[in-house]
Chains A and B, each alone.
Chain A
Amino acid sequence: MILAEQEESRILVETENLKKYFKVAGGQLHAVDGVNLRIRRGKTLGIVGESGCGKSTIGRTILRLIEPSGGDIRYEGKSIINLNNSAMREMRKKMQIIFQDPYSSINPRMSVIELIAEFMIVNRQYATKAQCFNKAAQLMDVVGLARRLANVYPHELDGGRRQRIGIARALSLEPEFIVCDEPVSALDVSIQAQILNLLMDLQKEKGLTYMFITHNLSVVKHISSEIAVMYLGKCVEKATSAQLFEEPKHPYTKALLTAIPEPDIAMRKKEIIVIKGEVTSPINPKPGCRFAPRCDYCQEICWREEPAYKEVKEQHFVACHFSG
């Protein structure tokens, strides 16, 4: 019982039946549709899925950059869904986000040091502006930006360095939790590896908790302790990183894992589970399993009934009628 309580207290961020629907021309777009996630303090939850599965929406919804349509978000056990603007501003000091696109996520009219100091200035983190700039200069060291770049404008910098600015900016309020929304997808592999190492070092040093959103399975395996696989607004499978890659249960996860082209010619003959068709529309989805139209194991029940999200093994959750 005490153990369970300890386990409870280690959960930093939790969502319960989180929903986000967008109104579009054809009806309701179910971007996120009843997702339950728990992220433990100091760990990384990876969210994988293909475009349109709602993975970016979920990250933004947790920070309430997009207001959820239903469900609950809890931070340290307390619901943040009804916090007013000023309480939410306080909250955002603890919860930050790193964006995918190092080009559009950085204001081109501000210099590097202004960009990093901005959040500290608006939140009056330090008594004077000079102190904020001071701290920003220190953060440049932390993320590996040369100080001579302090007064440079972003258009003179490459993607990797811009992404370092984004990371320094997210760190500037000393958050506990950071949503990383595809932070390396726009970068070349060698730069990508630099940024991944930086993120992991920072986590170790500061005890940060990450929600790492990506479509890249090898990256997510590398950085995450737990992985949630999303398909059309639903979390279809969640397990520890090792467990998921060893024993994927959901047919979609299986297909996803075999689809990765591996840099190894011995793998040329590996059998690829090519799933048929394409992602169906998330607008007014039909009842039943979302993956049913593409699933090879699809039975009659899959069209009728939505599979429950259940624990099939310790810490391994799957939403499939035939995963038991």
Chain B
Amino acid sequence: MTETILEVKDLEVQYKTELETVYAVNGISFRLNEGETLGIVGETGAGKTTTALSVLRLLPERVSFIPKGEIYFQGQNLLEMKENELRKIRGEKIAMIFQDPMTSLNPVMTVGEQILEALIFHRAEKAEKAELEKRVDEVLTMVGIAADRKADYPHQFSGGMKQRVVIAMALACEPELLIADEPTTALDVTIQAQVLLMIRNLRDRLKTAMIMITHDLGIVAQTCDNVAVMYAGELIESGTAEDIFCAEKHHPYTEGLFGSIPSLRVYTERLNPIAGLMPDPTERNPGCKFAPRCPKVMAICRSSHPEDAVENTHRIKCHLYSDGITDPRKEEERL
């Protein structure tokens, strides 16, 4: 029996400005076991990054509010923790990798110093300087950077190498949970392949649990055990990778996402995109968030919010499956 490392229960996040309230995350729940990788997929504005930031409690102060929800990390509710307790968890137990490596690197410090600083800050016991230096060399080698480059400044590295440095920093303290927010989006395909391969190998070796946030279904397919599809601040479908990539029944949005990607194998004349746009996050409607764009929309979708239909590990938030995911009757009725 594997232990649950992170559990998010009914989380809601809002951004409030003097003009409007943005409902960024609307009641999402998921759990992550030790050593597993969860992929969160969705488009811009789906609330992926907000979810990640709320786990680390790094949401912008003053404008963001968490009206509801609990986030348990190893049994402790992160939302009830004090700032100084959180500081111990951030970086040491939960580390994050951001999309743009430049935002997480200090341009006026050498990369060696930055990794060293992360180590000194988080290590409780006083370690010898030489020992720490050795650790810096170790983590750099681990991410495929020659240890003698630790005296270089970030601008002397290319984009892919910078992202490796960031990963080295994140892994320096051997965190138990790694949150990667679009870690390869800024990189070229061949470099992306290098970095993804490295992340996968390190994860398997260090047994780190990971949340991989991305908009690319390909990356999810190649790296994740479990998948959660987000749309307009909700988890509209979740399950194991097999549930999402192999099962027959899906949320219409998930189907739309797959229909939007041109296949490398099959030639298709036209793509099947999802019509319309993401709903305005400042409005809250009673019905399903996807109803205005849904090709299979029914009367009930506009008036009532769907519940999760569950089959083993597979969950779909859609009225189509209100009698269960495996039940084909609903399908016939609709026709």
Q: Which of A's residues lie within 8 Å of B, judged by CB?
A: 50-51, 158, 160, 188-194, 196-197, 200, 215, 217-219, 221-223, 242, 245, 255-256, 258-265, 267-268, 272, 274-275, 278-279
Contact = CB atoms under 8 A, between A and B. Distances in A.
Interface string B90-115: 00000000000000000000000000
A264 B221 contact: yes
16 contacts: A50-B188, A158-B277, A160-B277, A188-B215, A190-B256, A217-B189, A258-B193, A261-B192, A262-B218, A263-B220, A263-B221, A267-B221, A272-B197, A274-B190, A275-B190, A278-B158
Given A190-B274, A197-B270, A261 B43 contact: no
A8 to B, nearest CB: 29
Nearest to B160: A278
B220 to A, nearest CB: 7
B193 A259 contact: yes
B158 A263 contact: no
A189 B196 contact: no
Contacts of B192: 259, 261
Contact of B260 (A158, A192, A256, A260): A192
B89 interface: no
Interface residues of B, number: 44
A241 to B, nearest CB: 9
In this complex, the member of B196, B245, B273 whose beta carbon has the largest number of chain A beta carbons within 10 angstroms is B273
Nearest to B268: A222
A260 B189 contact: yes
A215 B189 contact: yes
Interface of B: 43-44, 158, 160-161, 188-194, 196-197, 215-222, 241-242, 245-246, 256-264, 267-268, 270-275, 277
B199 to A, nearest CB: 12
Nearest to B219: A261
Contact of A255 (B190, B246, B257): B190
A265 B190 contact: no
Contact of A274 (B158, B194, B245, B260): B194
B222 A267 contact: yes
Contacts, number: 112
A272 B189 CA distance: 12
In this complex, the member of A189, A221, A278 whose beta carbon has the largest number of chain B beta carbons within 10 angstroms is A189
B261 A256 contact: no
Nearest to A223: B262
A221 B160 contact: no
B221 A193 contact: no
A218 B261 CA distance: 8
Contacts of A51: 188
A261 B216 contact: yes
Contacts of A191: 273, 277
Given A50-B188, A191-B273, A274-B194, A261 B222 contact: yes
Contacts of A274: 190, 193-194, 197
A194 B263 CA distance: 15
Contacts of B268: 222
Contact of B273 (A158, A194, A242): A194
A193 B192 CA distance: 23
B261 A265 contact: no
Contacts of B275: 194
A260 B264 contact: yes
B221 A261 contact: yes
Contacts of A158: 277
B215 to A, nearest CB: 7
A272 B193 contact: yes
A25 to B, nearest CB: 14
In this complex, the member of A51, A158, A190, A260 whose beta carbon has the largest number of chain B beta carbons within 10 angstroms is A190
A205 B215 CA distance: 32
B262 A265 contact: no
A279 B196 CA distance: 18
Contacts of A278: 158, 160-161, 191
